[in-house]
Amino acid sequence: MGVPLAFSAYPPTSFPLRDLLVIHHLRVSPDDRVCEIGVGSGGTTVRLAKVCREVVGFEISKATVAALRYLEARHPNLRFVHADITRPDDTATHEGTFTRALACDTLEHVEDPEGFFASVAKLLAPGGEMLVTFPNEPPEKMHGITRFETREELERLVTGAGLQVTGFGAAKLSPWADRVAETLGWGPLRATRAVLRGRGKKPSAAASPPAAAPPQTFEETHFMRQMSGWKKLSPVVNLYWHGVLHLMEQRGPSFEIDEGFRATDFRDCQVFVTARKPTGSA
């Protein structure tokens, strides 16, 4: 059973469609202790806190943790921790604590993927399960700093950390969910951003600033800089997104998994990995 698609008025979120992947593929119960690595806006973390015994969000950005602290008062079973997941000292006190761990769109920003999976394995209790999904993009379009050329390269890191792979493939939206997402999600979001950023007039080439490097932490994103301003509108905006997500689910699971990358190029897709820590592991 996946995570129920619970409504949360806070924090402000920007089309959290990744939650649909989580709710169908991360099996949780009210007894689970869950950690999310790379919490971003905190929306998925809060959704998990509504149904799980304890949730800890590990986030490398200190500013992001500070901005999300108010959510701990709203959810007593939720805690945010400023930590670099690849540094053992940052997570040592949490080793063997969690029955579930997830990371969505985080691994591509991690300099040390081997250390990442080693840490996930240490954080999980024996029998615990992991879900990791991220865009594996070719060099010419990648917005992160880490990519994998072959599926074997990634699988070796997972198994090398002592985890047993239980699911491995490419995740993509179903045709119905994709139509809903484009019509009611990305389309309105692009229009809103264009208005807010004053893109009604095309700037001259001379006035165009050089392209900025893609953000590698949430605090570097435009959304993070504007998040406090969106806070007062958060209940209304989140209710809209909640309705869109429910509509995307109307014809079955919103995400299809191409197990084994049979019809998908591993080098340019949304990778989906689930794994389990053996019960006999320390």
| Residue 116 near residue 107, CB atoms below 8 Å | yes
* Domains of the chain: residue spans and CATH: 1-198+214-282 (3.40.50.150)
Query: Is 171 exposed, middle or buried, given 0-12, 13-18 or 19+ CB atoms closer than 10 A?
Result: buried
Convert the pLDDT of each residue in 29-76 to its tens digit. 999 999 999 999 999 999 999 999 999 999 999 999 999 999 999 999
- What six digits make up the tokens of 127? 């029998």
Please report, for residues 28, 233, 264, the alpha-carbon distance to residue 107 in angstroms, rounded to integers and kept in the order given.
22, 30, 20
pLDDT for 131-149, tens place per residue?
999 999 999 999 999 999 9
- Spatial contact of 43 and 8, defined as CB atoms under 8 Å apart: yes
Q: Taking Cα atoms as reference points, which of 272, 238, 249 lies closest to residue 15? A: 238
Among candidate residues 57, 33, 44, 19, the one with its CA nearest the CA of residue 127: 33
Kindly state the average pLDDT of the residues 102-116.
96
- Is 144 in contact with 180 (CB distance < 8 Å)? no
Give all strands (DSSP E) within the chain, no chain letters.
33-37, 54-59, 78-82, 98-104, 124-136, 164-173, 255-259, 269-276
The SS3 of residue 208 is coil
The structure's pTM equals 0.91
